């Protein structure tokens, strides 16, 4: 397998694949025009056909023309795409109430993890989120979902050998196009989802336009008793309530037929109880107390994120552009049970992480003759990150045994400032009717304790062998700085002689990852209803980044392996014909790392010694992953559907670190929807969903493995009803 992947990689020069939708429908290129009634060119025409010329009719067409101009800034060439549109989201069991991570799990090569985490093609997180072409810096890793599926018109998952435009976070790009008032008209929607585990999820949206102004706004509230994965196999976890509020808005002003100004903003505020495991035995005494009921622990976590972006987009002559400035603030606070955590863990830490990021982004696309498009741009971010640790610990003697039952307080706070600058230039060259080449270079510089930089060449080739067969190949050099908010320069020596002392201080500051990515694949259309795709990839890495949960706080910390290699194959099938739409994905992956070179204080001496000389599986490595679904429209008002996710299991501890894998798992979800039509009030949409319909108990983590802090089980069977009314 490894040799075949390497052969494909070395034979390839670059990557790009045609988009195929999750519901099986082909992704069509829409047309664009201005308000003058003259013909204009849709610069985003297919790779092997000239762009279409169309005529414009009004304000809606102005918006469509600007949308197409914005899309022209982001080339398809050089990446594999998987498109999930509004129809596909509606077909999911929870429809628009689906969390964003559950939407993305329907794409090939996306592996679910605990705490809502996702891994694409064997990478740990490292996702880049874009809304309408604007980069939204990622939030601090936690349990909450900042973005809402109700905002999505369509979402593309781009991975593989990405063009020079994409950098920094490169495991995959989650490119979201939001709903717009010019397409929807004036109106809104209200609804509620409720069901098992005390779930209550009301939502409201409103949209409209007046002259040059338009806006789209949505908000929802969620509470239930399964905020975080259950650490036991019981049907209902203990102490797992959550309250979450999310909101999003998009205000747009059309300055003229070639220019518009947009303001995007979002907010989320989430509270979580940390679920308990009954029957645990205290390891330490506290004053005169020697017993503590572990089911009564009261650990809590709160997560807050807010962002705002002002974007100016339009056309100057033949050049399309979008320039934006933005800011994102995110914070996480873990509040321990002071006595309980001391007795079970020897430390009770009130941990805070926060990060404020200010960003500048500018992208340009200029046609050069009839066969070339030059794209270029810059990106910069300025981050202030803070971490705090107000910890209570016990003193220990020379042997490491607890020497007093009276805790002592240690405060360890620090702040970091990080700067990132990036620039790229690339040319998309159409050679005849069958070949497209996208070549370019990207430069990135990241400054924190030290400055690190890299020039990254990119090359992508697409060959349209026939009208129905597309072959692609690609190479990308990647530079991935550590997530600044994940870095903590803790004064490790402060904890010497306590129950929170570490065995190996090591290098406390993570390094930027550097890798070479090869990708090759083929897509085959059978008529307009069926698309099959096969893609192989291989990544050779230095300073491989990973993240782990070390300690009692459920917050991730970044560390580096000296070397790593990741490879795999993905197969996907999509079908859409008449009342039936279906999709199927199957992926194989292998992710290996060797020699921990940073943040060694999180590891045991024996672990470090073994990993120093041996490759081990990364803790999030899952050999086989599959997802699929089918939707059938009985009539125009009634639909039934089913989907599933399957995994061969993440890694766990064994004779060597991460030496074994968890058992495989399978989760089947069912749904039925019906639209009731009332003469007085119009259409009322209802949807009934059964998640984990077979009620199969499966475990994602068992609490062992590198950077794994606690067991986590998948959800048990739940029944949910959604009611939605548009107006």
Q: DSSP readout, 185-238?
A: -SEEEEEEEEEGGGEEEEEEEEEEEETTEEEEEEEEEEEES-SS-BSSSSSS-B
pLDDT-based confidence at residue 534 (cuts at 50, 70, 90): very high
408-461 pLDDT, tens digit per residue, is: 999 988 888 999 999 999 999 999 989 999 999 999 999 988 899 999 999 999
- What's the pLDDT at 43? 37
- What's the pLDDT at 412? 87
- Is a pLDDT exceeding 80 seen at residue 55? no
577-595 pLDDT, tens digit per residue, is: 999 999 999 999 999 999 9
Least confident of 142-146, 267-271, 308-312: 142-146
Looking at residues 151-174, what average pLDDT do you find? 91
- What's the pLDDT at 642? 96
Looking at residues 559-569, what average pLDDT do you find? 95
pLDDT-based confidence at residue 600 (cuts at 50, 70, 90): confident
What is d(CA 708, CA 330) in angstroms, rounded to the nearest whole number? Answer: 23
pLDDT-based confidence at residue 139 (cuts at 50, 70, 90): low
- How much is the pTM? 0.86
Q: How many CA atoms lie within 13 A of 466 on its CB side?
A: 7
Q: Is residue 667 within 8 Å of 696, Cβ to Cβ?
A: yes
- Is a pLDDT exceeding 80 seen at residue 66? no
What is d(CA 431, CA 547) in angstroms, rounded to the nearest whole number? Answer: 43
- What's the pLDDT at 558? 82
- Is a pLDDT exceeding 90 seen at residue 661? yes
Pick from 91-95, 123-127, 199-203, 576-580 the range whose average pLDDT is largest: 199-203
Q: Which residues pair with 687 in a beta bridge?
A: 673, 722
Is pLDDT larger for residue 691 or for residue 448?
691
Q: Is residue 409 within 8 Å of 165, Cβ to Cβ?
A: no
pLDDT-based confidence at residue 375 (cuts at 50, 70, 90): very high
Least confident of 56-65, 279-288, 296-305: 56-65
pLDDT-based confidence at residue 190 (cuts at 50, 70, 90): very high
pLDDT-based confidence at residue 503 (cuts at 50, 70, 90): low
- What's the pLDDT at 495? 84
Looking at residues 189-195, what average pLDDT do you find? 96
- Is a pLDDT exceeding 80 seen at residue 40? no
Report DSSP letters for 383-404, one per residue.
EEEEEEEEEEE-BB-TTS-B--
Looking at residues 483-501, what average pLDDT do you find? 74
Looking at residues 664-692, what average pLDDT do you find? 94
CATH classification of 2-726, choosing from 2.40.110.10, 2.40.440.10, 1.10.3720.10, 2.40.170.20? 2.40.170.20
Report DSSP letters for 456-492, one per residue.
EEEEEEEEEEETTEEEEEEEEEEEEPPPGGG-----G
pLDDT-based confidence at residue 126 (cuts at 50, 70, 90): confident
Looking at residues 72-93, what average pLDDT do you find? 80
pLDDT above 90 coverage of the chain, percent: 64
- Is a pLDDT exceeding 60 seen at residue 86? yes
As a whole number of Å, the CA-based R_g of the chain is 26
- What's the pLDDT at 140? 59
pLDDT-based confidence at residue 552 (cuts at 50, 70, 90): low
What is d(CA 133, CA 67) in angstroms, rounded to the nearest whole number? Answer: 10
- What's the pLDDT at 590? 97
Looking at residues 318-327, what average pLDDT do you find? 95
- What's the pLDDT at 59? 52
Those residues with Cβ within 8 angstroms of residue 649's Cβ, 6 or more apart along the chain or in another chain: 622, 623, 661, 662, 663, 664, 665
| E strands, 274-318, in order | 300-316
What is d(CA 529, CA 573) in angstroms, rounded to the nearest whole number? Answer: 11
- Is a pLDDT exceeding 80 seen at residue 556? no
Domain boundaries, the chain: 2-726
Is pLDDT larger for residue 557 or for residue 589?
589
Looking at residues 177-202, what average pLDDT do you find? 90
The mean predicted confidence, pLDDT, of the chain is 86
Looking at residues 483-509, what average pLDDT do you find? 73
152-159, strands of its sheet edge to edge: 80-85, 152-159, 172-178, 127-131, 134-136
Looking at residues 375-393, what average pLDDT do you find? 93
- Is a pLDDT exceeding 80 seen at residue 468? yes
Is pLDDT larger for residue 227 or for residue 557?
227
pLDDT-based confidence at residue 60 (cuts at 50, 70, 90): low
Is pLDDT larger for residue 75 or for residue 476?
476
- How far is the CA of 567 from the CAs of 48, 592, 593, 656, in angstroms? 30, 9, 12, 22
- 173: exposed, middle or buried (C-beta count within 10 Å: 0-12, 13-18, 19+)? buried
């Amino acid at each position: 397998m490894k040799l075949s992947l390497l052969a494909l990689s070395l034979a390839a020069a670059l990557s790009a694949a045609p988009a195929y939708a999750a519901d099986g429908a082909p992704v069509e290129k829409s047309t664009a025009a201005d308000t003058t009634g003259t013909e204009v060119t849709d610069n985003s025409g297919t790779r092997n056909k000239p762009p279409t010329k169309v005529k414009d009719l009004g304000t809606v067409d102005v918006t469509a023309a600007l949308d197409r101009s914005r899309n022209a800034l982001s080339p398809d060439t050089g990446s594999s795409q998987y498109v999930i549109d509004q129809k596909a989201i509606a077909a999911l069991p929870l429809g628009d109430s689906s969390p964003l991570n559950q939407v993305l799990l329907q794409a090939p090569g996306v592996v679910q993890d605990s705490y809502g985490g996702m891994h694409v093609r064997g990478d740990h997180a490292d996702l880049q989120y874009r809304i309408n072409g604007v980069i939204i810096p990622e939030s601090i890793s936690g349990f909450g979902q900042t973005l809402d599926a109700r905002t999505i018109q369509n979402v593309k998952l781009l991975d593989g050998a990405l063009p020079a435009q994409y950098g920094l976070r490169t495991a995959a790009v989650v490119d979201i196009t939001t709903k717009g008032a010019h397409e929807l008209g004036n109106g809104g929607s209200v609804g509620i989802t409720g069901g098992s585990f005390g779930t209550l999820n009301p939502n409201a949206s409103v949209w409209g336009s007046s002259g040059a102004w338009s806006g789209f706004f949505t908000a929802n509230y969620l509470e239930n008793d399964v905020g975080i994965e259950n650490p036991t196999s019981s049907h209902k976890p203990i102490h797992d309530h959550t309250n979450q509020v999310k909101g999003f808005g998009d205000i747009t002003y059309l300055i003229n037929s070639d220019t518009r100004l947009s303001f995007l903003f979002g907010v989320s505020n989430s509270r979580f109880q940390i679920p308990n495991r009954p029957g645990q035995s205290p390891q330490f005494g506290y004053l005169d107390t020697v017993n503590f009921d572990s089911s009564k622990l009261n650990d809590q976590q709160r997560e807050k994120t807010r962002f705002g972006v002002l974007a100016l987009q339009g056309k100057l002559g033949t050049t399309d552009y979008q320039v934006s400035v933005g800011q994102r603030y995110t914070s996480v606070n873990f509040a321990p049970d002071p006595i309980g955590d001391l007795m079970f863990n020897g430390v009770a830490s009130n941990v805070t992480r926060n990060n404020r990021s200010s960003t500048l982004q500018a992208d340009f696309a200029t046609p050069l003759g009839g066969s070339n498009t030059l794209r270029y741009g810059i990106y910069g971010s300025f981050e202030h990150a803070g971490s705090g640790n107000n910890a209570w610990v016990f003193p220990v003697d020379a042997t490491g045994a607890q020497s007093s039952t009276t805790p002592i307080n240690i405060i360890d706070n620090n702040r970091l400032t990080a700067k990132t600058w990036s620039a790229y230039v690339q040319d998309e060259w159409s050679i005849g009717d069958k070949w497209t080449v996208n070549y370019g270079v990207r430069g990135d510089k990241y400054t924190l304790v030290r400055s690190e930089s890299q020039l990254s060449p990119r090359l992508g080739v697409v060959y349209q062998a026939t009208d129905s067969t597309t072959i692609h190949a690609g190479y990308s050099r990647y530079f991935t700085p550590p997530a600044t908010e994940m870095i903590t320069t803790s004064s490790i020596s402060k904890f010497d002689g306590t129950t929170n002392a570490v065995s190996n201080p090591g290098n406390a500051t993570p390094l930027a990852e550097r890798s070479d990515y090869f990708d090759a694949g083929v897509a085959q259309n059978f008529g307009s209803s069926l698309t099959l795709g096969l893609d192989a990839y291989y990544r050779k890495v230095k300073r491989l980044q990973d993240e782990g949960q070390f300690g009692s706080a459920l917050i991730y910390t970044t560390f580096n392996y000296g070397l790593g290699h990741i490879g795999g194959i993905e197969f996907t099938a999509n079908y859409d014909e008449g009342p039936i739409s279906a999709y199927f994905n199957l992926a194989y992956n292998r992710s290996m790392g060797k020699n921990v070179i940073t943040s060694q204080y999180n590891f045991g001496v024996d672990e470090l010694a073994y990993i120093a000389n041996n490759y081990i599986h990364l803790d999030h490595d899952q050999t086989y992953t599959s997802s699929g679904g089918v939707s059938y429209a009985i009539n125009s008002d009634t639909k039934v559907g089913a989907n599933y996710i399957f995994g061969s299991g993440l890694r766990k501890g064994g004779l060597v670190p991460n030496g074994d894998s968890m058992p495989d798992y399978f989760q089947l979800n069912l749904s039925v929807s019906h639209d009731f039509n009332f003469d007085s009030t119009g259409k009322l949409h209802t949807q009934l969903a059964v998640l984990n319909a077979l009620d199969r108990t499966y475990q994602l983590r068992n609490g062992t493995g590198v950077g794994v802090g606690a067991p986590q089980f998948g959800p048990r069977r739940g029944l949910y009803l959604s009611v939605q009314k548009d107006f």
